Amino acid sequence: MTVMTQTIALTVNGRAVSVHAPPAARLAHVLRDELGLTGTKIGCDAGDCGACTVLLDGKQVCGCLVSVAQAAGRAVTTVEGLATDAKLSTLQQAFHRHGAAQCGICTPGMLMAARDLLDRNPKPSESEAMDALGGVLCRCTGYRKIVDAVLEMANGANGAAAVALSVGSAVGARMAKVDGVAKLTGDEAYGADRIPEGALHLRVVRSPHHRAKFALGELAPLRARYPGLVAILTWRDVPGSNAYGIYPTGKDQFVLAVDEVRYRGDPVLALVGDKHTVYAIRDDELPIPWTRLEPVMGIASALGAGAPRVQPAKQGNVLTRGRVVKGIIENGWRAAAYKAEGAWHTSFVEHAYIEPEAGWARRVDNRIEIHVSTQTPYMDRDEVAFIMGLEKEQVRIVPTACGGGFGGKLDLSVQPLIAIAAWKLGKPVACVYTRPESMAATTKRHPATIRARAACAADGRLTAFEMHAEFDTGSYASWGPTVADRVPVHATGPYFVPAVKNTSIAVHTNGPPSGAFRGFGVPQAAIAHEALYDVLAEKSGIDPLEFRLVNAIKKGDATATGQVLQHSAGLPQCLIALRPRWALWRREAASFNETSSVLKRGVGIACMWYGCGNTSMSNPSTMRIGISREGKVTLYNGCADIGQGSNTIMIQIAADAVGLAADRFDYVMGDTDRTADAGKSSASRQTFVSGRATQLAGEDLRRKILRLANAGDAATLSLAGSMLLIRDGEGRRVVDLSAMPADKNGDAMFGEGTFDPPTQKLDENGQGIPYATFAFAAQMAEIEVDTELGTVKVRRIAAAHDVGRAVNPTQVEGQIHGGIAQGLGLALMEEYLPGRTENLHDYLIPTFGDVPPIDVLLVEDAEPLGPYGAKGIGEPALIPTAPAIFGAIHHATGVRMHFAPATPHRVREAILKAEASDETH
């Protein structure tokens, strides 16, 4: 196809440039594709996310909404123009110090919006800062550290460099991210940023129907019509297994559908060719005659008599069941003085990472190399090999930076198709999902229908708990079995209950596949159990915080699976830390409500626990550390950093374990040719599992060094070029690394550590040891409800988390802020409706104005198995937020919400229903 271009002159980052592009081309695309300025990101291409924000004549604009012709003769500033002489600007330094970039994909847009603000208004207030940056979405940080960084500028940034750390002081320090500078300058390469010159592009053609049959027509005429179309892939082009899936027993998903599609978004064909052509071909030009079938939508329909089978092998549409039974439940009910019960419903929730799925592949002789944004390089490698019919060693995964994952990048996306295309065509092939494609095609949080009841004695002690949770696992298994297994274990919440009966079921529907999403079903269950405990507290006349404290599980108590907690169970400390705020905030809300009729305030509290790592499964991690002949120290780190900061904290742990300063360390992240398998970045396992493996690797290397030098344990190490100096009391030894032979990595010495947390299989009643350790937390939320509109504004949150040991308090706080923002979204606004909310203007996620100030209180009840005592924080941060907000809505209005999200119409409806019922009685 011929595309009309013009030569357009503009100034970019102070330099006069001419570009040859169609005048209507979007500025963001021209900056990236023509000028190589990939610091400007594209998250939606529709003006919704702000990732593409640049300055046009000094004012922030969305680069995806401005044509290059509009920029003609004008000055454009991108993130690459902020640093001068390779020195970060003071604004970038402030972001760096505050940990304001997590995955970093939103960071260029944030910086540009902040630059615009500060140029116009050097001393903005907090609300002015939030307004000015409000057009840029961040899914990781919860915005608070970004606001802190901007306000530090307003208050006179001191320009201080990030803290330099001495030997032995890395763990526990607020060390700046080791990959932070690249994220702040636009240098960081995400999935779409380093596509090789001349690569072909691949676009997936997907089902527009929830359920349909199809038969492909003749494809050759399309090839003839579009010379730029190099290949059209169908399922027949898959060289190995077209069926794949997370579990060996669940290979039920297809790289390309054969004759039936099971959800809106199922892949059918792949068009490969030049970028313009593959995106210019309309889906209605393709010869795909559809026969629509009645879809099975929702759990009730799927379980209804006579419902069609979504998956042929799954009778009754049941994918799997979970069960945990402890004690004699009837005895628990008999011992009860008070009982509570109810039902709750939650929705599909979209991960909404700002970076859509992206990557590229190339064939290198008899191997395939895939550069991709992923949470799990080794699982990707194994699954691509299976699909390609290759040996695992023939597949190399090189993770790019990942612009957010939250569980959504644990499943395959672009990997198999770009691999197949590159393998067949012998050319690099790239694929970048559009925002609507990302939202339609990828996994979601499981919608749940939960029925539960609980009972306590007159003194408030729990006597029985029973839950049945049904999860809509959508069209394919994905991580459905994980959710069904994990929820019954966690369903009581972090409390001691003598008699428990928890069951779960994952149900196939023609919805999108539900997969992993921060918490694996536990956040949905927490909404139910925390609501029941509020009711029991009220019935027994005990304050809600004290009720939780009375029942909080402690060391020496047995969980619902019969596991006796031996160490690190810091929930009581979390609740005690919140006590003063609890009393104060409740008093303040009551006093506000005395004089306010329409606006009502309330304060709620909720707790959580979360098993770190896979449920009752081996999930080992191996880490390696090498010192080269030149004296370069490298951590070979197989753990994908998806923004959570594992690149940094692993180096902190490694540094203290070896006994060298953290700034001596370089790292390799996730490359399957260069690192060992550290497992997936999920289940809040990397700090705990890979962190421990890193500590062991560091200790192994240190041991080898000390042995070589014949030095004692207390010796100190330092490096001067290739000379490794060992001081042991008065003694001083020097090892010349350059004189030693090097291994394949060029390392003269290396250490290795492997850690697999000890767990035990669950029996038929769910009894056993599913996790080696649990994280604990309690959060409280103050909200304000407009009782006439039904709107809920979260005013402040306090979050007390037992993290074992905060390896990097700044990053732990960032995880907590980000988790809370996502929990707030789950509670109040996020509802994915297939076919209706497949973009970021119909699907709402929290923005600057939605996330309130957050007080973080860190409790460090050390876990002896963890690295220097540390446990996980990724998922725990999100889990208590929604139930705390729901509790606060009840405190403010007297109504209990049973549906998440509690959107204004649902809150208003509940208030009206309660008023009507009051009038009736």
186 sits near ligand FES (criterion: CB under 6 A): no
User: What one-letter code names the amino acid at 239?
Assistant: P
Q: At what angle do helices 571-595 and 544-551 cross, to 10 degrees?
A: 170
Q: How far is the CB of 841 from ligand FES (least distance, A)?
A: 10
Which residue's CB is nearer to ligand FES, number 823 or number 867? 823
Q: How far is the CB of 107 from ligand FES (least distance, A)?
A: 6
Identify the burial level of 349 via C-beta atoms within 10 angstroms of its C-beta, where 0-12 means exposed, 13-18 middle and 19 or more buried.
Answer: buried
- Count CB atoms within 10 A of the CB of residue 905: 10
* Cβ atoms 204, 417 nearer than 8 A: yes
99 sits near ligand FES (criterion: CB under 6 A): no
Q: How far is the CB of 48 from ligand FES (least distance, A)?
A: 5
Which residue's CB is nearer to ligand FES, number 52 or number 397? 52
Task: Return d(Cα 214, Cα 208) in angstroms, integer.
Answer: 12
Query: Which region among 45-53, 495-503, 727-735, 842-850 touches ligand FES (by CB under 6 A)?
Result: 45-53
Q: How far is the CB of 682 from ligand FES (least distance, A)?
A: 17
Q: How far is the CB of 24 from ligand FES (least distance, A)?
A: 15
Q: How far is the CB of 46 from ligand FES (least distance, A)?
A: 6
Which residue's CB is nearer to ligand FES, number 104 or number 834? 104
352 sits near ligand FES (criterion: CB under 6 A): no
Which residue's CB is nearer to ligand FES, number 180 or number 428? 180
Q: How far is the CB of 404 from ligand FES (least distance, A)?
A: 5
834 sits near ligand FES (criterion: CB under 6 A): no
* Cβ atoms 39, 187 nearer than 8 A: yes
Which residue's CB is nearer to ligand FES, number 43 or number 513? 43
Pick from 38, 102, 400, 503: which binds ligand FES (CB under 6 A)? 102
Cis omega (within 30 of 0) for bond into 901: yes
Contact string (CB under 6 A) for ligand FES, positions 357-386, x = contact: ------------------------------
49 sits near ligand FES (criterion: CB under 6 A): yes
Enumerate long-range contacts of 17-21, CB under 8 Å, 24 or more apart.
Answer: 19/68, 21/68
Which residue's CB is nearer to ligand FES, number 615 or number 815? 815
Task: Return d(Cα 579, Cα 141) in angstroms, integer.
Answer: 26
- SS3 at position 855: strand
173 sits near ligand FES (criterion: CB under 6 A): no
Rg for the chain (alpha carbons), in Å? 28
- Window 615-654: residues binding ligand FES (CB under 6 A): 643
404 sits near ligand FES (criterion: CB under 6 A): yes
* Cβ atoms 509, 444 nearer than 8 A: no
Following CA atoms 15, 28, 135, 835 in sequence, which dihedral angle do they give, to the nearest 10 degrees?
180
Which residue's CB is nearer to ligand FES, number 463 or number 822? 822
Pick from 354, 552, 565, 780: which binds ligand FES (CB under 6 A)? 354
User: What one-letter code names the amino acid at 698?
Assistant: G
Task: Return d(Cα 614, Cα 689) in angstroms, integer.
Answer: 10
Query: Which region among 96-104, 266-274, 288-296, 518-526 touches ligand FES (by CB under 6 A)?
Result: 96-104
The full 3-state SS of 511-538, as one line of letters, equals: CCCECCCCCCCHHHHHHHHHHHHHHHHH
Pick from 11, 22, 47, 74: which binds ligand FES (CB under 6 A)? 47
Q: Which residues are CB-neighbours of 854 under 8 A, at least 6 positions away?
A: 142, 144, 796, 797, 798, 799, 816, 817, 820
Which residue's CB is nearer to ligand FES, number 643 or number 804? 643
39 sits near ligand FES (criterion: CB under 6 A): no
43 sits near ligand FES (criterion: CB under 6 A): yes
Which residue's CB is nearer to ligand FES, number 76 or number 101? 101
Pick from 48, 357, 782, 813: which binds ligand FES (CB under 6 A)? 48
439 sits near ligand FES (criterion: CB under 6 A): no
Contact string (CB under 6 A) for ligand FES, positions 126-155, x = contact: ------------xxxx--------------
Retrieve residue 591's tokens: 């006093």
Which residue's CB is nearer to ligand FES, number 438 or number 903? 438
Query: Which region among 104-112, 411-419, 480-488, 618-626 touches ligand FES (by CB under 6 A)?
Result: 104-112
Task: Return d(Cα 289, Cα 266) in angstroms, integer.
Answer: 15
503 sits near ligand FES (criterion: CB under 6 A): no
Which residue's CB is nearer to ligand FES, number 135 or number 757? 135
Task: Give kind and range of the element (H or E) at residue 467.
Answer: strand 462-474
* Cβ atoms 54, 61 nearer than 8 A: yes
Task: Return d(Cα 396, Cα 432) in angstroms, integer.
Answer: 19
Q: Is 3 left (phi over 0), alpha (psi -120 to 50) or beta?
A: beta
- Window 52-91: residues binding ligand FES (CB under 6 A): 52, 62, 64
Query: Which region among 42-50, 158-166, 598-606, 731-739 touches ligand FES (by CB under 6 A)?
Result: 42-50
* Cβ atoms 134, 843 nearer than 8 A: no
246 sits near ligand FES (criterion: CB under 6 A): no
Which residue's CB is nearer to ligand FES, number 32 or number 801? 32
The full 3-state SS of 391-438, as one line of letters, equals: CHHHEEEEECECCCCCCCCCCCCCHHHHHHHHHHHCCCEEEECCHHHH
Retrieve residue 843's tokens: 């699907």
Pick from 101, 219, 238, 505: which binds ligand FES (CB under 6 A)? 101
Query: Which region among 101-109, 305-313, 544-552, 787-795 touches ligand FES (by CB under 6 A)?
Result: 101-109
825 sits near ligand FES (criterion: CB under 6 A): no
- SS3 at position 503: strand
Look-up: residue for tokens 């590159």? Answer: 422
How many residues bind to ligand FES according to rule CB under 6 A?
A: 25
Q: How far is the CB of 619 from ligand FES (least distance, A)?
A: 25
User: What is the β-pairing status of strands 367-372 and 395-399?
Assistant: parallel
* Cβ atoms 440, 512 nearer than 8 A: yes
Q: For residue 315, how many C-alpha atoms fall within 13 Å in the half-sphere facing its CB?
A: 0
Task: Return d(Cα 761, Cα 685) in angstroms, integer.
Answer: 18
530 sits near ligand FES (criterion: CB under 6 A): no
Residues lying near ligand FES in the complex (CB under 6 A): 42-45, 47-52, 62, 64, 101-106, 138-141, 354, 404, 643
